[in-house]
């Protein structure tokens, strides 16, 4: 054990890590990504090593900001450092990489060491890559799901609660803002915890935040569920399934989404809040996460089987995913469109998708007979009962219940993309729409995003507006314009796709 003087480093690394001077690291035979045990008084923690020849002097230990919440120290404090060995979970990860099947105990240890930050991001990445390329059987997926729940916080609402979830991948999917008030207006309890955007221009929580705050304590959530029957909040502050949040953060730069991890991720979040019945939306089509019906059906059956093992009744809706839902992408634009639909307007595609999924939940819970759920959901929408329920939810979450679509601020900088020819829109690129909206500033800039003036099947004439970009700054608008001009966002029947000159 060696003593060092603490030096606080105002840098976030995303890991529980420290930095040593190169000379000290050599003497201790430590390398980058090795582990050390730190001790101060009664506090003790495992940290990952970084090395520098200039950021800290010999005899100093640099403490990054990420470590401070778990190991609070001040400049100059004496820290005892000792070299430690990798946890057993590293060997379990190696076993999976070589094609082995992991036991319940092995998976629990991997998840526990992930939450405790005993595993570094490289080791977590190796685990996720093994999941992606080797795969897991359903027993392993069940064990992984339960381990994610057991290493986090759980909520018992003391009554039957239901939920709707989407695997994502399609821009503009603001259906939750219609489904929650419809289902709550029908008398069911729907505590909707949603995520913020990770790779998309708007997550459900980002869109709802335009209308009301989305961060609450557990006691506040219990009270809201009792008083109004539902809410739409951000789940990140509740410490539900914290291992999953770490896995998602590591997946992002790798651009992977292992099927086993997707199953465990979604179902762990549902199990942690006691969901009894869930409808899963699987958007399917070109540019969606799932591009064909056979894959969608197989994935849906896996969710149904995992739900059966966990005691959650699951039904899956395979939905159209060839183009954005509705006509808008971006937090404020989507919030405005959702309000329009709740008030009796809005695009038909948004209404049809929302009421069909809500109808499935109503049928699963005996609110209506089989085959009559969507019609009842549409009646709740048409009668204004769903809108009234949404006003109650907005007010209970601290927003203005009388907000109207025109009250919602959208980006003041705008650019309209015209149709290059006469014809019919034959396809729309989901990835290009996402890229344009993100370049415009979404979701960080709530008013940024895009509005589609034309969708698949629309007849357009040369010069007609097909896409409108919204941004808060001129530079972001230019960035989005450039992507719109470079990417094949819309395919219009009759367009010249490429010229190959022969002279």
* Catalytic residue IDs: 257
| 407 DSSP assignment | G
The total of other beta-carbon atoms located within 10 Å of residue 223's CB is 13
Taking the C-alpha atoms of residue 420 and residue 330, their distance in angstroms, rounded to an integer, is 25
Residue 50 pairs with which residues in a beta bridge? 19
DSSP H or E stretch at residue 392: helix 385-396
Are 284 and 319 in contact, with CB atoms under 8 Å apart?
yes
Distance set, CA 215 to CA 88, 212, 222, 391 (Å): 37, 10, 13, 18
Could you tell me if 277 and 162 are in contact, meaning their C-beta atoms sit under 8 angstroms apart? yes
Residue 445 half-sphere exposure toward CB, CA atoms < 13 A: 22
CA pseudo-torsion sign 429, 434, 437, 440: negative
Q: Decide: residue 465, CB within 10 A, 0-12 exposed, 13-18 middle, 19+ buried.
A: middle
Check if the beta carbon of residue 344 is closer than 8 Å to that of residue 308: no
DSSP of 130-157, one letter per residue?
HHHHH---HHHHHHHHHHHHHTS-----
Paired with 278 in beta bridges are 163, 314
| Block residue for tokens 């700054």 | 473
Count Cβ neighbours within 10 Å for each residue of 154-179 and write b for 16 or more, e otherwise: ebeeeeebbbbbbbbbbbbbbbbbbb
Secondary structure letter of residue 427 according to DSSP: E
Integer Cα distance of 254 and 257 in angstroms:
9
* Long-range pairs for 442-445: beta carbons < 8 A, 24 or more residues apart: 442/197, 442/201, 442/202, 442/329, 442/330, 442/331, 443/196, 443/197, 443/200, 443/201, 443/202, 443/203, 443/206, 443/330, 443/331, 445/411, 445/471, 445/472, 445/473, 445/476
Q: Tokens 């019945």 — which residue?
A: 277
In angstroms, the first-to-last Cα distance of the chain is 75
Could you give the CA distance from residue 193 to residue 191 in angstroms, rounded to a whole number?
A: 6
DSSP string, 51-78: EESSSS-TTEEEEEGGGTTTS---TT-E
């Amino acid at each position: 054990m060696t003593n060092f003087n603490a030096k606080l480093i105002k840098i976030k690394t995303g890991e529980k890590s420290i930095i040593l001077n190169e000379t000290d690291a050599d003497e201790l035979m430590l390398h980058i990504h090795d582990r050390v045990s730190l001790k101060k008084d009664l506090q003790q923690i495992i940290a990952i090593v970084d090395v520098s020849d200039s950021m800290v002097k010999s005899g100093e230990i640099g403490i990054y900001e990420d470590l401070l919440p778990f190991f609070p120290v001040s400049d100059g404090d004496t820290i005892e450092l000792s070299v430690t060995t990798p946890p057993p979970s590293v060997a379990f990860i190696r076993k999976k990489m070589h094609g082995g099947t992991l036991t319940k105990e092995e998976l629990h240890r991997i998840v526990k060491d992930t939450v405790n930050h005993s595993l570094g991001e490289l080791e977590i990445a190796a685990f996720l890559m093994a999941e992606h390329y080797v795969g897991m059987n359903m027993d392993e997926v069940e064990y992984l799901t339960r381990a994610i729940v057991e290493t986090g916080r759980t909520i018992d609402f003391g009554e039957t609660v239901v939920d709707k979830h989407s695997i994502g991948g399609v821009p503009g999917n603001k259906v939750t803002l219609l489904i929650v008030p419809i289902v709550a207006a029908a008398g069911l309890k729907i505590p909707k915890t949603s995520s913020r955007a990770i790779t998309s221009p708007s997550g459900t929580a980002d869109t709802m935040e335009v209308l009301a705050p989305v961060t609450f304590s557990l006691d506040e959530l219990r009270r809201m569920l009792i008083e109004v029957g539902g809410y739409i909040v951000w789940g990140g502050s509740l410490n539900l399934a914290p291992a999953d949040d770490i896995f998602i953060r590591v997946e992002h730069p790798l651009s992977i989404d292992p099927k086993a991890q997707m199953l465990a991720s979604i179902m762990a979040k549902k199990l942690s809040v006691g969901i009894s019945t869930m409808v899963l939306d699987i958007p399917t089509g070109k540019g969606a996460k799932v591009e064909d019906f056979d894959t969608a059906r197989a994935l849906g059956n896996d969710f149904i089987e995992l739900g059966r093992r966990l005691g959650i009744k699951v039904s899956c809706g395979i939905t159209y995913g060839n183009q954005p839902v509705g006509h808008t992408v971006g937090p404020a634009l989507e919030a405005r469109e959702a309000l329009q639909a709740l008030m009796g307007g809005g695009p038909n595609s948004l209404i049809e998708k929302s009421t069909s999924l809500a109808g499935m939940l109503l049928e699963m819970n005996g609110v209506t007979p089989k085959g009559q759920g969507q019609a009842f959901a549409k009646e709740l929408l048409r009668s204004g009962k769903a809108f009234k329920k949404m006003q109650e939810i907005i007010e209970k979450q601290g927003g203005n219940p009388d907000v109207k679509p025109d009250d919602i601020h959208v980006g003041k900088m705008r650019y309209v993309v015209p149709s290059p020819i006469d014809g019919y829109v034959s396809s729309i690129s989901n990835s290009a729409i996402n890229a344009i909206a993100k370049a415009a500033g979404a979701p960080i800039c709530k008013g940024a995003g895009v509005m589609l003036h034309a969708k698949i099947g629309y007849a357009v004439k040369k010069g007609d507006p097909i896409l409108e970009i919204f941004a808060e700054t001129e530079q972001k608008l230019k960035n989005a314009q450039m992507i719109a001009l470079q990417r094949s966002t819309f395919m219009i029947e009759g367009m010249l796709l490429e010229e190959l000159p022969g002279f």
